[in-house]
Homo-oligomer: A and B are copies of this chain.
Amino acid sequence: MLDLPDSVHVVEMLPRDGFQRLDRFVPTDEKASIIDDLATTGVDEIEFTSFTHPKAVPNLRDADEVARRITRRDDVTYRALVPNAVGMERALDAGVDKVNALVTVSESYSRKNQSMSTSEILDEVEQIVDLAAGTDVLVEAGIGTSFYCPYEGRIPQERTLEVVDRVVEAGVDEVTLATTMGLANPVQVDAMFTEVFDRHPGVDAGLHLHDTNGMSLANTLAAMQCGVDRFDASVCGLGGGVVLPEGLSGVGNTPTEDLAHMLTETGVDTGLDFERTEAVAHSISDRLDLGATSHVLMGGTARRVLDTVASDAEP
């Protein structure tokens, strides 16, 4: 029998992974309004921006101002990406609840994305943990290119596990493995998390989902069976790294509404109100002119299918 957890956490990535990948700057007020809308779905946590250098990610150059304009809810954890200690200082000033300290296993990707080697970034993570000490701010390490890198191909599992070891030793509160390229498969996910929990029993481990190969819901199922209880997704599937090569437009995130659909239908509690999530997905798809980029947006739910039938019923 399939052994699924009673509940998992979902982290909404659209305001960071999505806005950074759009081909235009979304005005700060619209960003804040969309983030406030996303906070009404019942989601536990939102990665609402990235405190990175404005030249590295111009679309998120208004991170500090976004932090001021959003309306904070007590039941939502507001997380921000920090690529280094300088970003951490800005995030602390902005009053975030949690940071995503990004480390990338691939040296090639690290240098392109953060202008540092993996080892240098690991030093930054140690500084980020030190800066968080004595505050209420939690530190999650997001491990980029945990499975595949666009420049280096398949990343050997052992290299990713070494980075996991390092961030756990550094004292982070949570670790999230990212399928940056959306190419991981369920056996890779299972093998990786089995090792992670074996090396670090009780570690708070999450999976950041992209869906280039269409296996991300199968990966979610495999990860839940290993004990993973936190999943990063993005409404409308909007997202992807800023240093992905041209031509890789298909590397979207897993759509939050599709993830929420499967989890709701299979009785795994996420806190998300599925119908509200679906409505917000439609609204954001309209506002950002994204089209039908998920199965839910294409009408792939039992309620919508049966409504379609009812409206076409013969007299």
- A261 interfacial by beta-carbon distance below 8 Å: yes
Given A151-B309, A221-B221: A214 and B295 interface contact (C-beta under 8 Å)? yes
A1 to B191 alpha-carbon distance, docked (Å): 7
CB pair B2 A225 closer than 8 Å: yes
Residue of B nearest to A268 (CB): B187
- A4 interfacial by beta-carbon distance below 8 Å: yes
24 CB-based A-B contacts, threshold 8 Å: A2-B186, A2-B187, A2-B222, A148-B305, A150-B309, A151-B309, A154-B302, A182-B300, A183-B301, A183-B302, A187-B265, A211-B295, A212-B295, A213-B301, A214-B214, A214-B261, A218-B218, A221-B221, A245-B308, A245-B309, A245-B312, A247-B308, A248-B305, A250-B299
Q: Mark A233-260, 1 if CB is under 8 A from B, else 0.
A: 0000000000001111011000000100
A residues with CB within 8 A of B: 1-2, 4, 148, 150-151, 153-154, 181-183, 185-188, 190, 194, 211-215, 217-218, 220-222, 225, 245-248, 250-251, 258, 261-262, 265-267, 294-296, 298-302, 305-306, 308-309, 311-313
CB pair A185 B218 closer than 8 Å: no
CB pair A305 B186 closer than 8 Å: no
CB pair B246 A312 closer than 8 Å: yes
A282 to B194 alpha-carbon distance, docked (Å): 37
A306 to B251 alpha-carbon distance, docked (Å): 12
Taking chain A's interface residues, is the majority helix, strand, or loop, or is none over half, making it mixed? loop
Residue of B nearest to A112 (CB): B314
Given A187-B265, A212-B305: A300 and B246 interface contact (C-beta under 8 Å)? no
Residue of B nearest to A246 (CB): B312
Contact of A150 among B1, B296, B305 (CB under 8 A): B305
A243 to B143 alpha-carbon distance, docked (Å): 48
A245 to B311 alpha-carbon distance, docked (Å): 10
**In the complex, chain B residues whose CB is within 8 Å of the CB of A190:** 1-2
Residue of B nearest to A185 (CB): B265
**In the complex, chain B residues whose CB is within 8 Å of the CB of A153:** 302, 306
CB pair B306 A150 closer than 8 Å: yes
Query: Min CB distance, A5 to chain B, in Å?
Result: 12
Q: Which 7 A-B pairs have the closest CB atoms?
A: A214-B295, A2-B190, A187-B266, A185-B265, A217-B218, A212-B300, A245-B312
